[in-house]
Structures are given as C-alpha cells and as structure tokens.
C-alpha cells in the first residue's frame, strides 16, 4: 500500500511528523511534492493527492490543513476520491468502512497523538463489505460517472 500525503503551510509540521511516524511503521508514504510557503493554497495539495490516489490502486491519501474542511471539500472534486474529514477515530472508521473513503482530511489544530490515532484507524479499517454500504458507495460512483438514475 502507498499513502500519499499533502499539506498546506498550516499542516506542514504535522505532515513531517506523520511521515516520520508512518516510515517508522514501514509504511510507504509519498509526499505529494508541492512546495510550501505562506501563500500556498490548500486546493492544490488536495487535487494533487486526490489525482495520485485515484490513479494508484491500493493507495490512500492524507491531507492536512488548518482544520481539514477545505482540503476535504477540494479533494472530493477529484473523480474517484471519497474524502472524509476526521476529528476522531470514529470518523476515520466510518468514513472508510461505511462510506468508502480513500482520502482523509485532518486539521493541524489537533494534537499530533490524536492525529496518529486517527490515521492508524483509517489505515487499519477494512473497506466496506456490507451490502447496504456498498450500495450507497456505488450510487456515489455512478453519479460521479453520470450514470445515476434519480429516484
């Protein structure tokens, strides 16, 4: 599994800590590679990570900005991405297991230990398998592909 990570200027310190943490766990983590400065824009990082995840099988994405909201909104504009903003382990679990999330958006305003718990949960959670969740995820995918039959 490959994990792509990106952060704007507000999430830069957290990104560095998370990358070190994941590397210590022998997880392949790849920086999206965009330069950071005080004027960088979160959508650029969200789009880049989203594109990488959508084109790479068995990959996940991690995005970090001030509170995770902007990154989540932007990432969900990328075809093939289902991004969840998580502030706790339950969000990470349900986002992946119930909603098929393949990208997680986090806030740099959270304690680094909480971020690590959220990320661990996201990585270790199995993808959706229950029919009711798969049906809903497929509706989202079909809508994205212009194939949704409205009720």
Spatial distance between the Cα atoms of 9 and 32, rounded to a whole number of angstroms: 14
User: Mean pLDDT across the chain, nearest whole number?
Assistant: 96
Label residue 146 left, alpha or beta by phi (over 0 means left) and psi (-120 to 50 means alpha). Answer: left
Spatial distance between the Cα atoms of 47 and 26, rounded to a whole number of angstroms: 26
Q: What is the CATH number of domain 2-144?
A: 3.40.1400.10
Nearest Cα neighbor of 45 from 60, 28, 63, 29 is 63
pLDDT of residue 41: 96
Contact status, residue 95 vs residue 106, Cβ threshold 8 Å: no
* Predicted structure pTM score: 0.96
Q: What is the pLDDT of residues 123-142, one digit of tens each?
A: 999 999 999 999 999 999 99
Give the mean model confidence (pLDDT) for residues 45-59. Answer: 97
Give me the catalytic one of 65, 72, 83, 133: 65
Q: What is the pLDDT of residues 101-110, one digit of tens each?
A: 999 999 999 9
Give me the catalytic one of 9, 72, 83, 98: 98
9 is catalytic: no
Contact status, residue 83 vs residue 103, Cβ threshold 8 Å: yes
Contact status, residue 4 vs residue 53, Cβ threshold 8 Å: yes
Spatial distance between the Cα atoms of 118 and 112, rounded to a whole number of angstroms: 10
Residue spans of the domains in the chain: they are: 2-144
Is the Cα torsion angle 139, 51, 5, 37 positive or negative in sign? negative
Residue 149 clears pLDDT 90, i.e. is over it: no
65 is catalytic: yes
């Amino acid at each position: 599994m490959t994990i792509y990570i990106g952060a704007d200027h507000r999430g830069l310190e957290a990104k560095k800590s998370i990358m070190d943490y994941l590397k210590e766990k022998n997880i392949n983590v790849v920086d999206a590679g965009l330069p950071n400065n005080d004027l960088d824009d979160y959508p650029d990082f969200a789009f880049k990570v989203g594109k990488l995840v959508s084109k790479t099988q068995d990959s996940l994405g991690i995005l970090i900005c001030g509170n995770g909201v902007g990154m989540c909104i932007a990432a969900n504009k990328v075809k093939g991405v289902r991004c969840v903003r998580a502030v706790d382990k339950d969000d990470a679990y349900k986002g992946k297991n119930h909603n098929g999330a393949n990208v997680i958006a986090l806030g740099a305003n959270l304690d680094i230990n909480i971020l690590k718990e959220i990320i661990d949960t996201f990585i270790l959670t199995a993808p959706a398998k229950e029919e009711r969740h798969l049906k809903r995820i497929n509706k989202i995918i079909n809508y994205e592909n212009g194939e949704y039959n409205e009720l």
